[in-house]
Structure 1
Amino acid sequence: MTRHTVVIAPDSFKGTATAIEVTDALAEGWASARPGDILIRMPLADGGEGTLDAFEIAVPGAERVPVTVHGPDGRAVNASWIRLPDNSAVVELAETSGITLLSPLLPVDAHTIGFGQAIAAALDAGVERVYLAIGGSSSTDGGVGALTALGARFLDADDEPIANGGRGLADLASVNLGGLRQLPSGGAVILSDVTSELLGAEGAAAVFGPQKGATPSDVAALDAGLVRLAGLLSADPATPGAGAAGGTGFGMLAWGATLAAGANAVGEVVRAADAVASASIVVTGEGRFDGQSDAGKVPSYVRALAAAGSAQPMLVAGAISAEPVGFAATVSLTEIAGSSDAAMTDTLRWLRAAGERLARTL
């Protein structure tokens, strides 16, 4: 039997398994069928949930630094950020201000203050660059909460601070950036797989608001608030990605950060290209492979790395609803489990089964 080097490089299966758990389950399944193969575990992320895990595992010397912040509903959240050996930091919005921290959802009141507090903690620690992973947000506040935590002031007509969350944007009359923290010397990079603009029918409120529990009237109010914000900050609301994370992309652009495709940026830092170049097979995956998967998400990024070399790319997804072009083999957990409910109820079991099934295609 030919001995293969196999890189296992999936994203998280949101809501059911972290990227680390997905990687480990696929590796266990593969090893059960082909114990002689060399397995390289490389969980990836596109700027959403699991980005810290990807950096911590893949970068030797990465250090997780604990921090307590105000979560999206004001309750204390024990979170963390990652310090990399080059003295840069990775801060993940999903861990500080993410939608998984809320039950019930608060579509107009959730905020990003905790995200800004974690960024401030990294700056206080003297980091020279900040990677801002902004997927998985709970709010539509345009990044106002984060900027407030970094020293900006958002005021109503009476020069009083506006309320937290998207609700407060309705009263926004002026912005004072005099106390806003400076970018670190090496700048800040936004990691996101979202290309939406800030405003309008394809903007932050309209596209993502309903996913956060917003009603049609909420969406209209949130979009109107973002219009007010866009008129007071210097960033261009039409920038692709400005609508990411309920407009947090726009807020971070106004701070001076630059945008990068999340999966590519994470992959570059963790040297994913080198790992894939050394392999004959690479297994990737995500919770749902659909029409958005070719827009910079982890599977399309890994497939491109494989195409640049000689590795065969393979795909595992919770569900596959678009043609998975360019993969040597694919497995849908929904298909092998019999239903989406079964796949989501025991995701790790079916991931192990998927890993074994892919290994047996060789």
Structure 2
Amino acid sequence: MQEFAVVQHVLVAPDKFKGSLTAAEVASRVSAGLRVPTVELPVADGGDGTVDAVVACGFTRVTVEVTGPTGLPVAASYAWRPAGLPAGPSGSPTDSRATAVVELAEASGLRRLPGGHEPLTATSRGTGELIADAVRRGAQRIVLGLGGSASTDGGAGMAQALGARLLDADGDDLGHGGAELRRLERIDLTGFTDLSGVEFVVASDVDNPLLGPHGAAAVYGPQKGATPEDVRVLEAALSRFAAVATQTHGLLGAVEHDDTPRAMGVAGAPGAGAAGGVGFAALAFLHAEIRPGIDYLLDLLGFGDLVKDARLVITGEGSLDEQTLRGKAPVGVAQAAAKAGVPVVAVCGRRSLSDAELATAGIEAAYALTDLEPDPDRCMAEAGALLERLAARIAADRL
């Protein structure tokens, strides 16, 4: 009887090169340069580019018109997989419920601000409208990727889009933005969307609470253009939101008002401060579970099945730096591959991590575009061709 050798593949599982190539484009270019059997699995950690990566792995893109962070309409997308279909390229779903992947940056991200930052008035409403559309479509599970948020509204806009009424002392609805929450007196959920039967998972690696020196306003507000005075306004507004939610709906987010507001329960939960406090609203109103972004998405896409027969995994992102070590996609891929005993190398635009730091993260070697082209502008402009050359170098070194 004739025996046939099993041809092992290389699993190419990179994140995007921000501003240059999508994760799918990176995977395609690396595969082209390797010239060996490959399986391409573009990945993301829940932030900007998550929908693109998931669509490249077999989900369908659904585009709808929603409210952008300024209140103007924008066309935004989420990823959709009907019930009963495989979770990813592996073809063997472990969980085939109807699933939507909603990326906050799509509807409510900084890139949706055409005229600059609007720290006090930007809203997360469009993200809630994407969720509502997925619920109407029949989603049984919604994965909410947080990252790149334009707003610091505690997820109030998202909750309003789903039917929550945030009312002032006169019984009027609040307008857009975090600053409006200072006037909040009551929350009416009688018209809230029926979410029974829908599981919500927040894919995020941010562990900040909603309030305090490590909270949404203090840490992330300045990144969205907030001045020191704006930060104080937003902190007071988010504190008010948490307090009213507690008083009117029994949420475990009680706030003690003293010189330094402190939050317990939902407001103090790790991740409540993610995306300008959208994490808080996800916990409080959607009863979501917060999971590490890259780990959850790798499970969703079937990474575990694909890595079993791989002889090498190639991951990467635009910049391998200290942020990479804080739960970004390449480290998540490396840790998942290590469980299967498969070696990992990375490609990147540039790197500032030492060999020792890479090894600690489970990455045996890193190949940077700047190894081939020292001019950063040319690296950005010619990233695809340079990646193919890097992949050929990997093949010569490793395969």
- State the TM-score, normalized to the length of structure 2: 0.83
CA distance 1:133–1:116, change in 2 (3 Å): same
Identify the residue that residue 70 of structure 1 maps to in structure 2.
Answer: 67
| More displaced 10-residue stretch of structure 1: 105-114 or 325-334 | 325-334
1:247 maps onto 2:259 in alignment: no
Residue of structure 1 in register with 2:106 after alignment: 95
What is residue 23 of structure 1 aligned with on the other side? 27
In structure 1, what residue type is equivalent to 2:395?
A
Superposition deviation, residue 146 in structure 1 = 0.6
The letter for the 2-side match of 1:76 is: P
> What's the offset of the Cα at 1:334?
4.1
Q: Which amino acid aligns with 2:54?
A: F
The alpha-carbon deviation at position 17 of structure 1 amounts to 2.5
Map of 1:83 onto structure 2: 80
In the TM superposition, residue 119 of structure 1 has moved relative to its aligned partner by 0.6
1:219 equivalent in structure 2: 231
Give the RMSD, CA atoms, in angstroms. 2.1
> Residues 166-223 of structure 1, C-alpha deviation per residue, up to 9 Å, x if partnerless?
2212322322222222324042111112121111221112222222222222222222
| Structure 1 residue runs without a partner (length 5+) | none
Larger deviation, residues 184-193 vs 317-326: 317-326
- The aligned residue for residue 56 of structure 1 is 55
Q: How far off its partner does 1:240 sit?
A: 1.1
Task: Give the letter for the 2:273 counterpart.
Answer: G
* Deviation digits for residues 67-102 of structure 1 (CA, Å, limit 9, x no counterpart): 111111122211222221321222121111111111
1:119 to 131, 136, 139: 131
Residue by residue over 1:22-63, the C-alpha shift from the partner in whole angstroms, topping out at 9 and shown as x without a partner, is 2222223x33xxx2x11111001111122222222324xx33
Q: Write out aligned runs for 1:207-356 (5 A).
A: 207-233=219-245, 234=251, 235=253, 236-255=266-285, 256-322=287-353, 323-325=357-359, 326-356=362-392
After superposition, where does 1:39-54 map in structure 2 within 5 Å?
39-54=38-53
Matching of residues 129-148 of structure 1 within 5 Å: 129-148=141-160
SS of corresponding position for 1:361: helix
Q: Which amino acid aligns with 1:12?
A: K
Q: CA deviation at 1:145?
A: 0.6
| 1:264, distance to aligned residue in structure 2 (A) | 1.0
Note the alpha carbon deviations across 1:299-351, whole angstroms, 9 max, x for none.
Answer: 11111122112321011233333321221210233454325444334433443
Write the distance in 2 (CA, Å) between the matches of 1:199 and 1:312: 41
SS at match of 1:69: strand
Deviations 1:8-33 (A, max 9, x none): 111122333221122222223x33xx
Unaligned 5+ segments in structure 2 are 1-5, 84-97, 246-250, 254-265
Equivalent position of 2:256 in the other structure: none
Quick one: distance in 2 between partners of 1:243 and 1:288? 25
CA distance in 2, matches of 1:356, 1:200: 49
- AA paired with 1:118? L
CA contact (8 A) 1:12 1:49 kept: no
Paired position in structure 1 for 2:259 = none
Task: Work out the CA distance in 1 between the residues paired with 2:277 and 2:102.
Answer: 17
Cα 1:119–1:306 change in 2 (3 A) is same
* SS of 1:232 mapped into structure 2: helix
2:165 matched to 1:153?
A: yes
Give how far 1:3 is off: 7.0
Whether the 8 Å CA contact 2:123–2:176 is kept in 1: the answer is yes
Query: Are the structure 2 counterparts of residues 290 and 198 from structure 1 closer, same or farther at C-alpha, using a change threshold of 3 Å?
Result: farther
Distance change >3 Å, CA 102–CA 307, structure 1 → 2: same
CA distance in 2: counterparts of 1:268 and 1:174, whole angstroms: 40
Give the match's secondary structure for 2:358.
Answer: coil
